[in-house]
């Protein structure tokens, strides 16, 4: 669905990182964690292509959705100047969502979010806790404390948050993936389900750890994409399904995939 959505909140929350909330009841009503919206960042044809952003918050009651984005290039730079009250041309909700309907409330869940890949972990934590899961832990990683998303975005969902930074300026010093083994060792809730979104190296490490330990794991992939709706075929990746290699589109069959089906390019 394509709509013009008014901006109701837009503020800087970390170094070059912004929180953008839109009033868009039609999209909020049907959106699920893991899905994304495609935003036209300028009012003209520059930039021409929309930019994809995962949903970090879905408030079905209020009819609002939020994204958290980092200013990287021309599109996000223009987006960061849009004031509250302006309307944005957006398409959504797009793509596949995290699959959570089969997860028992007795299970635990570990959500690994790296850098600017972490935002969808907030809406996912909210949904899992809403399902009654006893223990939802977010492992939140960033290069440094300046790049770290505010912990409160995740703790307010009821999730426990553990922080890791590469330079040790906040939380554990090291990669966020190093926190994973101690969080999946069972305990009162048994083996948890793992979800991850972040840089490719992090996703490979999380996927490989979970596969070798028999832990169910879903990964949200990022790919450069143009149309966002499956027409241009610009974002294909390879997956292994029923024993054979298939080409799928990250924008429509993804961005969420089972760790066991993702084939990484070396």
Ligand X SMILES: Cc1cc2nc3c(=O)[nH]c(=O)nc-3n(C[C@H](O)[C@H](O)[C@H](O)COP(=O)(O)OP(=O)(O)OC[C@H]3O[C@@H](n4cnc5c(N)ncnc54)[C@H](O)[C@@H]3O)c2cc1C
List phi, psi (to 5°) of 187: 85, -155
Q: Is 44 in the site for ligand X (CB under 6 A)?
A: no
> Which of 64-72, 83-91, 137-145, 180-188 is the region at the interface with ligand X (rule: CB under 6 A)?
64-72
257 in contact with ligand X (CB under 6 A): no
141 lies in the site for ligand X, by CB under 6 A: no
Q: Is 146 in the site for ligand X (CB under 6 A)?
A: no
The reply to whether 67 sits near ligand X by the rule CB under 6 A is yes
Q: Which of 3, 7, 49, 232 binds ligand X (CB under 6 A)?
A: 49
Query: In whole angstroms, how close is the CB of 189 to ligand X at the nearest point?
Result: 28
Q: Which is nearer to ligand X, 174 or 199 (CB)?
A: 199
Q: Quick one: 13 or 263, whose CB is closer to ligand X?
A: 13
Q: How many CB atoms lie within 10 A of CB 185?
A: 9
Separation of alpha carbons 40 and 145, rounded Å? 30
- Contacting ligand X (CB under 6 A), which of 42, 93, 108, 119? 119
**Site stretch for ligand X (CB under 6 A), options 65-73, 147-155, 170-178, 184-192:** 65-73
Residue 201 interacts with ligand X (CB under 6 A)? Answer: no
CB 175 within 8 A of CB 209: no
Q: Is 222 in the site for ligand X (CB under 6 A)?
A: yes
Interface with ligand X, residue 116, by CB under 6 A: yes
CA–CA distances in Å: residue 98 to residues 93, 167, 221, 224 = 13, 30, 12, 20
93: preceding bond cis by omega (within 30 degrees): yes
State yes or no: residue 97 binds ligand X (CB under 6 A). no
Question: Is residue 225 a contact residue for ligand X (CB under 6 A)?
Answer: yes
CB of 234 to ligand X, least distance (A): 9
Residues in 9-38 that interact with ligand X by CB under 6 A: 36
Interface residues toward ligand X, by CB under 6 A: 36, 47, 49, 51-54, 67-70, 72-76, 116, 119, 222-225, 255
């Amino acid at each position: 669905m394509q709509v013009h959505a008014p901006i109701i909140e837009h503020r800087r929350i970390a170094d070059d990182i912004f929180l953008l909330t839109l009033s868009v009841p039609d999209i909020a009503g049907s959106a699920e964690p893991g899905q994304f919206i495609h935003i036209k960042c300028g009012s003209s044809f520059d930039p021409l292509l929309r930019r994809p952003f995962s949903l970090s918050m879905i408030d079905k009651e209020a009819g609002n959705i939020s994204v958290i984005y980092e200013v990287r290039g021309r599109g996000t730079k223009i987006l960061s100047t849009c004031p509250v009250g302006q309307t944005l041309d957006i398409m959504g909700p797009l793509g596949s969502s995290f699959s959570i309907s089969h997860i028992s409330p007795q299970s635990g869940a570990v959500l690994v979010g790296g850098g600017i890949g972490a935002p969808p972990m907030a809406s996912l934590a909210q949904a899992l806790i809403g399902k009654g899961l006893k223990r939802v832990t977010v492992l939140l990683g960033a290069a440094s404390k300046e790049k770290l998303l505010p912990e409160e975005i995740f703790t307010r969902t009821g999730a426990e948050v553990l922080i890791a930074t590469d330079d040790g300026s906040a939380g554990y010093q090291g990669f966020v993936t190093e926190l994973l083994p101690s969080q999946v060792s069972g305990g009162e809730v048994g083996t948890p389900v793992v979800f991850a979104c972040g840089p490719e190296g992090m996703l490979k490490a999380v996927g490989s750890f979970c596969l070798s330990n028999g832990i169910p794991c879903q990964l949200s992939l990022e790919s450069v994409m143009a149309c966002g709706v499956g027409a241009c075929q610009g974002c294909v990746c390879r997956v292994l399904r029923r024993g054979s290699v298939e080409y799928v589109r990250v924008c429509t069959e993804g961005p969420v995939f089972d760790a066991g089906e993702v084939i990484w390019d070396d």
